[in-house]
Amino acid sequence: MTAFRLPHGGLIDRSRPLSFSFDGKSMTGFAGDTLASALLANGRILVGRSFKYHRPRGILTAGSAEPNALVTVNTGGRTEPNTLATMQELHEGLRAASQNRWPSLAFDIGALNGLLSPFLGAGFYYKTFMWPAAFWEKLYEPLIRRAAGLGRASHDADPDDYEKCWAHCDLLVIGAGATGLAAALTAGRAGARVIVVDEHPVAGGGLLSETAIIGTQAAADFAASCATELQSMPNVRLLTRTTVFAWYDGNVFGAVERVQKHVGFPAPNLPVERLWRIAAKQALLATGAEERPLVFGGNDIPGVMMAGAMRRYLNCHGVAPGHRVAIFTTNDSGYGLARDLEAAGIVPQAIIDSRRDAIPDSYSGSARVVSGAVVSDACGRKSLSSISVLQNGKSEELKVDALAMSGGFSPVIHLACHRGGKPQWSDEHAAFLAPSSQKGLALAGAADGTAGLQACLEAGVSKAAALLGSLGFTAKPQALGPVEGDIAAGPAKPLWTIPGIREKAFVDFQNDVHRKDITLATREGYGHVELAKRYTTTGMATDQGKLSNVNAIGLLAEERGVSPADVGTTTFRPFYSPVSFGALAGATHGKHFMPARMSPLHEWAKKNGAEFVEAGLWYRSAWFARDGESGWRESVDREALNVRKNAGLCDVSTLGKIEITGADAAEFINRVYCNAFLKLPVGKARYGLMLREDGFIFDDGTTSRLEENRYFMTTTTAAAIATMNHLEFCAQVLWPGLDVRLASVTDQWAQMAVAGPKSRAILQQIIDDDISNDAFPYLAARDVSLFGGQVHGRLFRISFSGELAFELAVLADFGEATADALMQAGDTHGIQPYGVEALSVLRIEKGHVTHSEINGTAVPADLGFGRMASSAKADFIGKHMLSRDGLSARDRLQLVGVMPLDTTAYFRSGAHILAKDADATLENDQGHVTSSCYSPHTGSHIGLALVKGGSARHGEEILIWNALHGEYVPGRLCDPVFVDPANSRLSM
Amino acid sequence: MRYSALSILMNGLRGNRSWKPAWREPEPKAHYDVIIVGGGGHGLATAYYLAREFGITNVAVLEKGYLGSGNVGRNTTIIRSNYLLPGNNPFYELSLKLWEGLEQDFNFNAMVSQRGVLNLCHSDGQRDAFIRRGNAMRLHGVDAEFLDREAIRRMLPFLGFDNARFPIMGGLLQRRGGTVRHDAVAWGFARGADMRGVDIIQNCEVTGIRQEGGRVTGVETSRGFIACNKLALAAAGNSSRVAAMAGMKLPIESHVLQAFVSEGLKPYIDCVVTFGVGHFYISQSDKGGLVFGGDIDGYNSYAQRGNLAMVEHVIEAGKTMIPGLSRVRVLRSWGGIMDMSMDGSPIIDRTHIDNLYLNAGWCYGGFKATPASGFCFAHLLARGAPQETAAAFRLDRFARGYLIDEDGSGAQPNLH
Amino acid sequence: MASLVPCPHCGLRPKEEFTIKGAALPRPSPDAGADAWLDHVYLRDNPRGALDEFWHHTSGCRRWLIVSRDTFSHEISACRDAADPAKERS
């Protein structure tokens, strides 16, 4: 026989049956069940297979430390592998499947590994699979990979939503068991802002499996009344189904709330999970303690279970573990279970107590107690059939179908160790305790080594009161209780090595690490706790060693003949229990991965047929396709040619725009640019080159002096944010004495380039001021009036295309109307919108650089700006590093133009440059193409390139070498200006 | 004891009781020819190649913690040689070639798995930079392929092609790149060095560097003074602190880089893939965990732990790149301390002190560099001159203006 | 790193709002000489312990701050506007 549902009892709602399936078999449970309790109630004790030996495994725990009962739930994009049956709440229609077995859970071929186990000890794979070398990737590794892994994840997108939020509180209480509830009540009643978090669906923790009486209430009723009172307080937030997974610096805790993991059909207006970042002035860990398994032979056979878990299934879910139950314990925990089993009509076959004469007074049951004894082995294949009990050297066989074990308790101190604090071994508690005195965090109750309900309630009250006192609250501690009928399980001597073992005795259940693996690791020099972990994989399973670590440490200590204190622990790290990508990503993924910035002319571009391209966070218009055009190239060629022939309008609003004012603005600008700016006249614009302090070019742009002490700077789109931060650094940190103020106005202005021989005629139709060449010459920059004084604008006579060109800025809200008006005014002049692709063609034709050339490794001289870096200025950012030898070396990469010898040949950016007839080697590498395009003006592909000593190599024949695409194009280096080298068009 | 299938069989039949320790636990001697500070990947590899290639075996590796307790056991296990600049590319290719023969060489299965490394690009600028980089690799005879969007879709159909903020435009694939079982690298080098007579001394912290007459005479340690003819520093993460014992100030900041592993899964993703926006890279270990990481947290740190904001950012990028990851659970996150140099490239060089040698500044590149770093550092120690592929990793390159800045972000380590 | 940074102008704000530049080193005078500039641009004490850094409250008040921080414990001991000491120096 096996586990079964008791006819009555438990906190389940027997009026609400729920149907679910496991491995395709339909079953029924009740509201209030977990998947694990429902499976047990249906007699399913084989629920999984282990990682390496594929051993049959059953449900071991009733919580988040479960190593065995991992199942896959849901389907499609909602598939969740490795879901703990012990944490998954049952809901109508839940579909769960077992994992890591083939062809079926009951008959698993992989179990053959068990026969080979002598050869599959710790680290065996480091010693073999090396011959022949090629076989690792072709044969061994694929086999290992197929066999390894647990559940199978879906590649489908998740249809559900997630969200994130911040919360702040005076006191965060983690764990809503007896200690946590007592603390939260104390703090809540004192008026503090309290957040109480518990990973289970119902507050209560261990109280829910208790049969003790607190005051006048049953323990579970007491928990419910506490929760009700907490929920009634406006200053308290009780979060159930929420796991605090990490403690970060600044006393910020990460927590994940499973908002809709317990329902079959998530409501679309709610997230499935919610990430909380909780900033707490003080936090109290009331996380309880984890019961330790005992390392005896066959301790993994289905039917062997933690004593506390068995008690929870019994009292909370009304499930009995079996008919013939034995209890193997090192402490009093087993007696509480025995008493409750007896109350349910199941008298344990035996209580095997490793202590001598230690039956607690509070136990008055009738079970046979075998003192000073151990269970050396459990027997059975897919379920437990018997155990060997060893007492005084004599072995006795007991027929049982369930065995509870308790090897003592490990306080759950993980969170307290997430910020570098090391756990401290306590001989008194036979456990590792949290590092003492950490700012902002305290522990209470079982998490702090306290045993017994009464003591935990008192600890919760007093610790909370003390923490509140430190925050300036006056708490009036109110005693809770008294508690009757509690069998407190105090510390007991740990039992690491059990004598007489014949079968494999597991330390880490999921990873199949058994006692001999620990021995082997020590023998081979991997006895340091961190090396033992890495060599054997103990503690590296999905439970992160919640059950296994302390046993591994105890065994290592005995192997090495030292105390667990000398062995120490591995590092507790986030996450306390695994957290989904979905929860940690929240809404920030896919289209919402990063914000999208739209130009004020976005709608204008859209209605003119723009195709958009991502440019950093911006969407920029790439080109404007017209009917009948065969592809983007045709559109771009047309747009570029039209600018040179007629006029075009391009949205350049994405350029960074910075308003600079103040009495020292000129001095400031002169220091941040490498070229001279002090004498820039009012009404004029000038090209500026900005360096980093290490001498390399940072960004370029134009700055216009609109008034004596008012400047307007533009930056590139890509570096706009970095430039603003940099200028603020210069103004605030380097030269706070300068009278200068900066404002980013990128979003305030819609800016459009109107370029081409007819641009002036078009603009003059909407601009009230005279913009003739005399009145508004090249590099003029002034405020202008538009539409008969209706709109104020700024006009700059600057050109990126090499044509007569202007940039017109109007306040963002007037952008679209102004662009419309320009299109209308330009209609008879042949104006066409053009996008960044044509803009790029025009600038490459003109040899203008962008961040393709300003790549962070270029100094001014590399790009032909050598004389701009003013040696006359005493200081500017970047001046003092420029004189290093390497920055003026002859073979530096310098800007040149490049053209194919055959004008019909195609080449692309990223191709390298080789000297003609040179071998293709890295030593012969001469540089690379930085920008390239088809130039409709020249009728050829052209490019800009950075080439070693390039400025002196114009005219040299070279090979444009692109092995990635198999393109090898003979070409020639040339001047980088392909259009109007004399700049005659600029001043038309 | 040589490891082989036969040794496993014989030992298995004997109850696995005859396995010998993988390395000795020697007491430090009074004097060594070479002392290497740092028992991580680079220090152990240096010792291994000193012994194996150059016959120098009177060597001690001093490790303040346990063997391999630094970044060799904390990284995301990726190996590749897809570097752009001539100062880097031949060095990392040497490293990849060493990886390819390493396991037979040191008789330890480090699970070198050339599963391919694919870097995705999402803009014209990124694409052009990848083509430039791929061609630089090809010029040096390194394998590189540029895949277009459709080729990537065939290879990894589950990437976020359709609903992405930054669509996948293409990618640079190095098929010879891949992953290695990181801890095993430290163990393999340690065992190989130990077998050749090198003393690996754990729990031995260097607390001072003793100098006389402008030369290093030895090191003060938590286990007493140990003399040496040459002192080699290989303590990345803590390079500045160790170098300060010799009065040096380095072009290095220490930063924390987080890494992550998911719960074990059946085979999910076959190669290493990096996302071109927001810095995310992922592969799957032989054990089934998805191993992934992102950018450094961005502030100087000697604490091996990171910040939640960066955790979120990395995972946001991950879910964007592979939408199906949404319900996969992240098991564990950790942090390693990186020597972030001022140009993003490492240093293997002599110092102003004649017999003091420095191996530092590995930034993100340390793990994949392990064999070549050890080989080249051993070469420098043994021959007094740099190995040719490491000749650019000079300490004076900052003063001379010969920087090796792969991404051009300049003298601000948190931008590299 | 501290998850919350005490901006002197905005109060406790999440770290994500800030941009970090690095060690808060005074800029050498223009005529300081090559060694001083090399030291300033490239060399770092990189202490394990107390360190002053330049942080920019990019998504807040947009002031540059000097954050005094421990690089091992990550505790922030002080945070002040960078212009204050700079003004004192000049």
Task: Write out the residue range of the structural domain in which residue B45 sits.
Answer: 25-78+84-93+100-105+182-251+343-415
How many beta-carbon pairs below 8 A join chains A and C?
69
**From the candidates A249, A514, A922, A931, which should be mutated to test the interface with B, based on the most B CB atoms within 10 A?**
A922
Q: What is the ipTM of this complex?
A: 0.97
Residue B121: closest CA among A158, A155, A910: A910
B264 and B159 share a domain?
A: yes
Question: Residue A727: its chain C contacts at CB < 8 A?
Answer: none
Taking the Cβ of residue C78 and every Cβ of chain B, the question of whether any pair is shorter than 8 Å is answered with no
Q: Are residues B166 and B136 in the same domain?
A: yes
Of the partner residues A251, A252, A728, the one whose CB lies closest to the CB of residue C64: A728
Work out the percent of chain A whose per-residue pLDDT is above 70: 100
Question: Mean of the per-residue pLDDT values for chain B?
Answer: 96
The answer to whether residue A107 neighbours chain C at the CB level (below 8 Å) is: no
Entry pTM = 0.97
Q: Is residue C39 less than 8 Å (CB to CB) from chain B? A: yes
Contacts of C42 in chain B (CB under 8 A): 251, 342, 398-399, 411
Supply the pLDDT for residue A871.
78
Same domain, B330 and B283: yes
Q: Would the CB atoms of A696 and B408 count as touching at under 8 Å? A: yes
- Selected for mutation to probe chain A from C42, C64, C70 (highest A CB count within 10 Å) is C64
- C-alpha to C-alpha distance for A847 and B407, rounded to whole angstroms: 23
CATH class of segment(s) A889-987: mainly beta
CATH assignment of A659-743?
Answer: 3.30.70.1400
Q: Tokens standing for A512? A: 């199949």
Q: What is the pLDDT along chain B (416 residues), one digit of tens a residue?
A: 799 988 999 999 988 999 999 999 999 999 999 999 999 999 999 999 999 999 999 999 999 999 999 999 999 999 999 999 999 999 999 999 999 999 999 999 999 999 999 999 999 999 999 999 999 999 999 999 999 999 999 999 999 998 889 999 999 999 999 999 999 999 999 999 999 999 999 999 999 999 999 999 999 999 999 999 999 999 999 999 999 999 999 999 999 999 999 999 999 999 999 999 888 999 999 999 999 999 999 999 999 999 999 999 999 999 999 999 999 999 999 999 999 999 999 999 999 999 999 999 999 889 999 999 999 999 999 999 999 999 999 999 999 999 999 999 999 999 98
- B and C: number of Cβ contacts within 8 A: 75
Which chain C residues have a beta carbon less than 8 Å from that of A696? none
Q: How confident is the model at residue C2 (pLDDT cuts 50, 70, 90)?
A: low
Phi-psi sector, B270: left (phi>0), alpha (psi -120 to 50), beta: alpha
> H or E stretch including A728?
helix A720-729
The reply to whether C23 touches chain B by the CB within 8 Å rule is: yes
Domain count, chain B: 2
Q: Which residue among C20, C23, C72 places its CB closest to the CB of B302?
A: C72
Closest CA to A148 of A2, A49, A43: A49
Which of B341, B359, B382 represents a domain boundary (last residue)?
Answer: B341
Residues of chain B found within 8 Å of residue A581, distances taken between Cβ atoms: 315, 318-319, 325-330
Q: Which residues of B touch A524 (CB under 8 A)?
A: 19-22
Binary contact (C56, A252; C-beta < 8 A) = no
Contact with chain B for residue A697, Cβ under 8 A: no
* Whole-number pLDDT of residue A437: 82
- pLDDT tier at C65, thresholds 50, 70, 90: very high
How far does chain A reach from its first CA to its final CA, in angstroms?
100
The residue among B75, B77, B308 with the most chain A CBs within 10 A of its CB, best to mutate, is B308
Query: Which residues of chain A are within 8 Å of residue C88 when distances are taken between CB atoms?
Result: none
Cβ C44–B303 below 8 Å, yes or no? no
* CATH number 3.40.50.720 is the correct assignment for the domain at A597-654+748-842: no
**Nearest beta carbon to residue B287 from set A74, A148, A252:** A148
Q: CATH number of the domain at A491-567, please?
A: 1.10.10.1100
Main-chain phi, psi angles of B224, to 5 degrees: 100, 180
The model's confidence at residue A773, banded by pLDDT at 50, 70 and 90, is: very high
How many residues make up chain A in this entry? 988
Name the helix (H) or strand (E) containing A630: none
CB contact under 8 A, A886 and B402: yes
B77-115 per-residue burial string, b: 16 or more CB within 10 A, e: under 16: bbbbbbbbbbbbbbbbbbbbebbbebbeebbbbbbbbbb
Residue C61 forms contact with A (CB below 8 Å): no
* Least trusted range by pLDDT, from A284-293, A396-405, A477-486, B89-98: A477-486
Q: Does C87 score more than 70 pLDDT?
A: no
Q: How many Å lie between the alpha carbon of C17 and the closest alpha carbon of chain B?
A: 10
Q: Do B263 and B238 sit in the same domain of this protein? A: no
The residue in chain C having the minimum alpha-carbon distance to the alpha carbon of residue B244 is C45
| Domain co-membership, B387 together with B323 | no
A593 in contact with B, Cβ within 8 Å: yes
Of the pLDDT bands very low, low, confident and very high (cuts 50, 70, 90), residue C40 is very high
For the segment A598-644, what is each residue's pLDDT rounded down to a tens digit?
999 999 999 999 999 999 999 999 999 999 999 999 999 999 999 99
In this complex, the residue of A118, A574, A887 whose CB is nearest that of residue B12 is A118
Out of B295, B311, B341, pick the residue that ends a domain: B341
Residues 6 or more apart whose CB falls under 8 angstroms from that of A112 comprise A54
What chain C residue is nearest to B342 in terms of C-alpha separation? C42
B128, B89: one domain: no
Handedness of CA A129, A135, A139, A141 (dihedral sign): positive
Whole-number average pLDDT of chain A? 96
Compute the count of residue pairs across chains A and B with CB atoms less than 8 Å apart: 358
pLDDT, average across residues A788-798: 97
> B187 and B60 in one domain?
yes
pLDDT tens, position by position, A157-177:
999 999 999 999 999 999 999
Extended beta strands in A616-680, E state: 618-624, 647-651, 656-661
- Domain finish residue from B326, B341, B356: B341
Task: Select the residue from C5, C41, C52, C66 to test the A interface by mutation, using most A Cβ atoms within 10 A.
Answer: C41
B122: chain A residues, CB-CB within 8 Å = 614
Q: Chain C, 8-47: which have a CB under 8 Å from a chain A CB? A: 12, 14-15, 19, 21, 27-28, 30-32, 34, 37-38, 40-42
Cβ contacts of C15 on chain B, cutoff 8 Å? 307, 309
Q: Which residues of C touch A277 (CB under 8 A)?
A: 3, 14
Q: How far is CA A387 from the centre of its chain?
A: 46
Residue of B nearest to C43 (CA): B251
Please give the backbone phi and psi of residue A947, each rounded to the nearest 5 degrees, phi first: -130, 140
Q: Is residue B30 part of a domain?
A: yes
Interatomic CA distance for residues A229 and B43, integer angstroms: 61
Q: Which residues contact A460 (CB under 8 A, 6 or more apart)?
A: A178, A179, A180, A181, A182, A183, A184, A186, A284, A286, A444, A445
Q: Are C72 and B303 inside 8 Å of each other by CB?
A: yes
Tokens of A516: 């001999």
d(CA B86, CA B140): 9
Confidence of residue A481 (pLDDT cuts 50, 70, 90): confident
pLDDT at C86 over 60: no
Indicate whether B186 belongs to any domain: yes
Q: Give SS3 for C17.
A: helix
Chain B residues touching residue A82 (CB < 8 angstroms): 263-265, 329
Asked if pLDDT for residue A658 goes beyond 70, the answer is yes
Do B223 and B143 share a structural domain? no
Q: Name every chain C residue with its beta carbon within 8 A of the beta carbon of B253.
A: 22-23, 44, 46
What CATH number does the domain containing C66 carry?
A: 3.30.2270.10
Residue C89 has pLDDT above 50, yes or no: no
- Domain tally, chain C: 1
The superfamily (CATH) of domain A162-289+412-484 is: FAD/NAD(P)-binding domain (3.50.50.60)
Chain C residues in contact with A877 by the CB 8 A cut-off are none
Domain locations along chain A: 162-289+412-484, 491-567, 597-654+748-842, 659-743, 889-987
CA distance A325 to chain B (A): 34
The reply to whether B14 falls in a domain is: no
Residue B63 included in any domain? yes
Q: How confident is the model at residue A136 (pLDDT cuts 50, 70, 90)?
A: confident
Q: Which DSSP helix (H) or strand (E) runs through A917?
A: none
Reported as type and span, the H/E element at residue B294 is strand B289-300
Distant-in-sequence, close-in-space partners of A647: CB < 8 Å, separation ≥ 6: A754, A755, A756, A757, A758, A759, A762, A826, A829, A830, A831, A832
* CB contact (8 A) between residue A250 and residue C54: no
- Is A146 in Cβ contact with B305 (below 8 Å)? no
* Residue B5 CB-half CA count within 13 A: 5
Which stretches does DSSP call E strand in A400-473? 402-406, 409-411, 424-426, 431-433, 441-443
Euclidean distance between CA atoms B210 and B231, whole angstroms: 10
The predicted pLDDT at position C85 comes to: 62
Residues B214 and B261 in one domain: no
Query: Domain check: are B173 and B193 in the same one?
Result: no
Q: Distance between CA A488 and CA A453 in Å, rounded?
A: 7
Domain range for C42 is 4-89
Mean pLDDT of A814-820: 98
- Any CB–CB contact under 8 A between C2 and chain A? yes
Counting every residue written for chain B, the total comes to: 416
At residue C90 the predicted structure's pLDDT band, cuts being 50, 70 and 90, is very low
A421-468: pLDDT as tens digits: 999 999 999 999 999 889 999 999 999 999 999 999 999 999 999 999
Same domain, B265 and B327: yes
Shared domain for B404 and B259, answered yes or no, is: no
In a domain, B290, yes or no: yes
